[in-house]
Amino acid sequence: MMIVMTPQAAEDQIQAVVARLETTGVHVVVMPGELTTAIGAIGDPEGVAELGIEGMPGVDRVVPISRSYKLASSELSHHEPSVFDIGGRTVGGGSTFCLIAGPCTVESREQTLGVARAVKAAGASMLRGGAFKPRTSPFAFKGLGAPALEILSEAREETGLPIVTELLDAQHAGLIEQYADVVQIGARNMQNYALLEVAGKLGKPVLLKRGLSSSLDELLQAADYVLKEGNEAVILCERGIRTFETATRFTLDLGAIPWLKLHTHLPVIVDPSHAAGDRRLVGPLSRAAAAVGADGLIVEVHEDPEHALCDGPQALQASQFAEFTAAVAAHAQLEGMRLA
Ligand code: PEP
Ligand code: MN
């Protein structure tokens, strides 16, 4: 923590700040400059944050030096990338590329089993599918609920693919715990801190999507909410953010991937489907994701996107999924990765 005094700060004001900092046992260094004096407080940033230094006479600003996210950070103790085994599929670590694919929403048994077979045959690592859907309009299809989880379970039984499905509300935690292999937290719930704690307690890997308008710092602090429950398996997902650009549904922040790789040990995957909102962009964005070092993708696939109940325009055609996978695998290979 660095405390910057105003140019007018008097010596007794500087000494008052030093005295207050010293009550927490931090090492204090006073650095007089040409215009202002800066005071460094080394150690215990939490204790210092609670001292109310900002309000003291002569203080201009308090500048934190250490990161706001702790457990997700690769800078403190966790320098090596985290690697998770999920039903025999490796996520993270840099040598495998995880391809999660499936429908946006479980609409029926036939639809889900059909897509599950297609994505399995093409080499997908896991099956996605929503049972409880967060919809912008309360009048839109919100998913089949519990029966959808039964259908996903049948698809897992047949294909062997682990299931990724969203925990929308804490009241469904028991059900999701029973059926999911990976618990998805949707973009709209990234800052639902109570839900993050519930997800953290389920003891299953959590796929945490970046909020629509959330910074990467906020994403990593959200990950800390899950990690602090003792759950080490958090997969981050860049799924596009709100910008002034409206040509695409969201703006896929490709720079987020190498930035996250520098600052966190957690695996990072990309959702090009929700970012693009248009299936024609999903292939290029997926290949780009592999090129910037993503650990995998989560993509939407449908056998009949025209009649999908949710997100049809962005769903890849199931019949074209093998071709898509081959292109992604080739790009992942350039990065030294093979499909998980
Ligand atoms: C989804 O993956 O189905 C979904 C709703 O995504 P997001 O939370 O990123 O909008
Ligand atoms: Mn969707």
Three-class SS string for 63-121?
A: ECCCCCCCCCECCCCCCCCCCEEECCEEECCCCEEEEEEECCECCCHHHHHHHHHHHHH
Radius of gyration of the chain, Cα coordinates, nearest whole angstrom = 23
Residue type, 21: L
Q: Which atom of ligand 1 is nearest to the CA of 105?
A: 3
Cβ 115 under 6 angstroms from ligand 1 = no
The rounded distance, in Å, linking the Cα atoms of 192 and 198 is 10
Probe ligand 1: pick from 182, 206, 239, max atoms within 8 Å of CB? 239
The rounded distance, in Å, linking the Cα atoms of 297 and 239 is 10
Distance (Å) from CA 131 to ligand 2 centroid: 11
Q: Which atom of ligand 1 is nearest to the CA of 240?
A: 9
Q: Give 96's contacts (C-beta < 8 A, 6+ positions apart).
A: 89, 90, 295, 337, 338, 339, 340
DSSP string covering 225-278: HHHTTT---EEEEE--B--S--SSSSB--TTHHHHHHHHBSS-EEE-HHHHHSS
Atom 9 in ligand 1: residue holding the nearest Cα: 187
Q: Which atom of ligand 1 is nearest to the CA of 187?
A: 8
DSSP string covering 171-210: GGHHHHHHH-SEEEE-GGGTT-HHHHHHHHHT-S-EEEEP
Distance (Å) from CA 63 to ligand 2 centroid: 40
| Pairing mode of beta strands 268-270, 296-302 | parallel
The H or E element spanning position 11 is helix 11-22
Q: Which pair of structure tokens corresponds to residue 309?
A: 């109940």
Q: Give 121's contacts (C-beta < 8 A, 6+ positions apart).
A: 322
Phi, psi of 242 (to 5 degrees): -75, 125
With H, G, I as helix, E, B as strand and everything else as coil, classify residue 298: strand
Cβ 283 under 6 angstroms from ligand 1 = no
Written as tens digits, the pLDDT of the chain (340 aa) is: 899 999 999 999 999 999 999 999 899 999 999 999 999 998 877 788 889 999 999 999 999 888 899 999 998 777 899 999 999 999 999 999 999 999 999 999 999 999 999 999 999 999 999 999 999 999 999 999 999 999 999 999 999 999 999 999 999 999 999 999 999 999 999 999 999 999 999 999 999 999 999 999 999 999 999 999 999 999 999 999 999 999 999 999 999 999 999 999 999 999 999 999 999 999 999 999 999 999 999 999 999 999 999 999 999 999 999 999 999 999 999 999 999 9
The rounded distance, in Å, linking the Cα atoms of 182 and 206 is 6
Sign of CA pseudo-dihedral 53, 55, 58, 62: positive
Phi, psi of 173 (to 5 degrees): -55, -45
Cβ 186 under 6 angstroms from ligand 1 = yes
Cβ 210 under 6 angstroms from ligand 1 = no
Cβ 274 under 6 angstroms from ligand 1 = yes
Distance from the first to the final alpha carbon of the chain = 42
pLDDT at residue 253, as a whole number: 98
The rounded distance, in Å, linking the Cα atoms of 50 and 305 is 54
Q: 302-326: string of b/e by CB count within 10 Å (b at 16+)?
A: bbebeebbbbbebbbbbeebeebbe
With H, G, I as helix, E, B as strand and everything else as coil, classify residue 41: strand
pLDDT at residue 133, as a whole number: 96
